[in-house]
Amino acid sequence: MAVRTATPVTGWLLRGSDGRLTAYAPAEGGVVRWTETRPGGPEWTGPELLAVPGLEPFLSIAQGAQGYVHLVGLRRRELEGGTETDIVYATQFQSGRPPTNWRSLGSPHGQDRQRSEQIGAPTAAVDSAGLHVFVRNAGGGVCGRRQDARGIWGPWADMKGSHVLDGLTAAATPAGRIELLGPASEFVLRWRQEQPGGPVRRVRNVPAKPGACSATAGVTGDDRVTHFWRDAADGSLQTLLPEPVAGEAGADAVTDTDTGAEPATVSVGGTGSGPVAVLHAVLDGHACTVLAQRAASGLPAVAVCPSGDEALAAQWSETGEEFSGAPGLALDAAGRVTVAVLGMDGHLRVARQRGDAAGLALGPWQRV
The answer, yes or no, to whether the previous bond of 108 is cis (omega within 30 of 0) is: no
Q: Rounded CA gap, 179 and 226, in Å?
A: 9
The pLDDT-based confidence of 313 (bands split at 50, 70, 90) is low
| Predicted pLDDT at 249 | 37
User: How confident is the model over 271-306, as pLDDT tens digits?
Assistant: 899 999 999 999 999 999 999 999 999 999 999 999
Cα–Cα distance for residue pair 333/203, rounded to 1 Å: 37
The reply to whether 333 falls in a domain is no
Domain contains 99: yes
With respect to residue 63, please indicate whether it lies within any of the assigned structural domains: yes
Its sign, for the CA torsion 305, 319, 216, 97, is negative
| C-alpha to C-alpha distance for 308 and 168, rounded to whole angstroms | 23
pLDDT tens for residues 126-174? 999 999 999 999 999 999 999 998 999 999 999 999 999 999 999 999 9
Query: Letter for the amino acid at 44?
Result: W
Domain presence at residue 201: yes
Q: Is 80 exceeded by the pLDDT of residue 262? A: no
pLDDT in tens, 55-70: 998 899 999 999 999 9
Residues constituting the chain: 368
The pLDDT of residue 244 is: 55
User: Does 299 reside within a domain?
Assistant: no
pLDDT beyond 70 at 35: yes
Residue 120 maps to which CATH number?
A: 2.120.10.10
Alpha carbon distance 195, 40 (integer Å): 35
Average pLDDT in the 344-361 region? 93
Buried b (16+ CB within 10 A) or exposed e, 310-349: bbeebebbebbeebbbbbbbbbbbeebbbbbbbbeebebb
Nearest to 152 by CA among 100, 192, 105: 105
d(CA 246, CA 177): 12
Is 343 a member of any domain? no
Percent of the chain at pLDDT above 90?
79
Range of the domain at 54: 13-273
Residue with the larger pLDDT of the pair 261 and 13: 13
Count of structural domains, the chain: 1
Q: Element (H or E) spanning 116, and its range? A: helix 113-116
Cβ 340 vs Cβ 350: under 8 Å = yes
CB distance 25 to 324 below 8 Å: no
Instruction: Give yes or no for a cis peptide into 42 (omega within 30° of 0).
Output: yes
Q: 153, 170, 139: which is closest to 104 by C-alpha?
A: 153
**How far apart are alpha carbons 89 and 76 in whole angstroms?**
14
328 domain residue, yes or no: no
> Residue 238: is its pLDDT beyond 70?
yes
In a domain, 35, yes or no: yes
In this structure, how many other beta carbons lie within 10 angstroms of the beta carbon of residue 96?
17
CA 2 centroid distance within chain: 22
Query: What is the percentage of the chain residues whose pLDDT exceeds 70?
Result: 91
pLDDT digits (tens, 9 = 90+) for 179-234: 999 999 899 999 999 999 999 999 999 999 999 999 999 999 989 999 999 999 99
| Run of H or E including 115 | helix 113-116
Residues paired with residue 144 on neighbouring β-strands, in sequence order: 134, 157
Q: What is the mean pLDDT of residues 321-334?
A: 96
Nearest to 353 by CA among 364, 363, 341: 363
